[in-house]
Amino acid sequence: MNGILNTNKPPDCTSRDVVNAVQKLVKPARCGHAGTLDPMATGVLVIGVGAATRLVPWIQQGHKVYRAEVRLGVRSDTDDRTGRLTEGRVDRPPSADEVRQAAACFVGDIEQVPPRFSAVHIGGRRAHALARKGVEFDLTPRRVHVARFDVVDYAWPRTVCEIACGSGTYIRALARDWGEALGCGAILEELQRTQVGSYCLDAAVDVETLRRDGVEPHLLPLRSAVPTLPAIACNEDDVRALLQGRSIAVDFERLLRDAPRSSYPAVSGDDAAPASQECALVTAAGCLVAIGTLGRDGRAAPHTVFPIEAGSSPLT
């Protein structure tokens, strides 16, 4: 059993709880999630099953979209409603324009200090474990990318926002820093992840549906995890070579005839182009066999291979 599950995480459980529930349904195949959601959060939790667990790093690189409810005028030691709350003093609630202007300052590449109650490692221990014991420690700022920070609705003290961001961004920390920029503090009240890469909430399934239907009807193909990688179609001999970890020759002339030259900078003839290009190596039917690098030497070398299940054809 190999494939991707686009699941809808319910509130008040951990991401690990969802994975454990799926694990019971797919054993002896293993599974793992691509990107943790806090227990209070809901929405898209992508799970790799079987060989698809090898695709987790690529899934995690996909952009994320969130719908968040933020309460202004209050602070929390966890940066959300689950922590110890402290009401802030507010002489004048910020206007809608001020709220939106402050949000715009967090778009782009920003430095973000993770929440103290987070899974970040501090000297080999999780930050949240140290924070619960009252241990003092410093967290190093991290560079993260926020592509979009839209204020959808605002009526003091609550705001509803839609945020698109890169991997590693803490929405709790974003809400906290936004509140500080407004001078009144803020906490995250509700959070729903609506998209991870190509996986969207409207197509996500909950665990109860998986228990009722079984997992296999809801498994998505491995190729769905790397939709932006340029694909190279392989013949029968190529597929056999890839499954043995061997590189294959690539017909550059045909490749550039069938796809935009810009898709394959490694073979574009531009001296400034990179020496290699990551690519998806697929069967004639479009099934992912391997992820590899396409080099100027005219060969594609696999670095992550997805073995075909016993009894199935590697060519379909």
* Residue whose pair of structure tokens reads 């709220």 in the numeric block: 99
Amino acid at 198: S
* Residue whose pair of structure tokens reads 């809901």 in the numeric block: 42
Q: How far apart are CA 163 and CA 151, in angstroms?
A: 9
| Buried/exposed 10-32: b ≥16 CB within 10 Å, e otherwise | beebebeebbebbbebbeebebb
Q: How far apart are CA 85 and CA 76, in angstroms?
A: 5
Q: How far apart are CA 253 and CA 23, in angstroms?
A: 45
- DSSP string across 151-176: EEEEETTEEEEEEEE-TT--HHHHHH
Contact 15, 33 (CB under 8 A): yes
In angstroms, what CA-CA distances link 269 with 88, 208, 243? 60, 53, 30
Radius of gyration in angstroms for the set of CA atoms belonging to the chain, rounded to a whole number: 23
Instruction: Please tell me whether the peptide bond between 157 and the residue prior to it is cis, using omega within 30 degrees of 0.
Output: yes
Q: How far apart are CA 122 and CA 139, in angstroms?
A: 8
* Burial of residue 85 (number of CB atoms within 10 Å: 0-12, 13-18, 19+): middle
Beta bridge partners of 66: 163, 193
Contact 154, 161 (CB under 8 A): no
Q: How far apart are CA 111 and CA 171, in angstroms?
A: 13
- Choosing from 38, 79, 80, 177, the catalytic residue is 38
Question: Annotated catalytic, 97?
Answer: no
Residue 215 DSSP code = S
Catalytic positions, written as ranges: 38
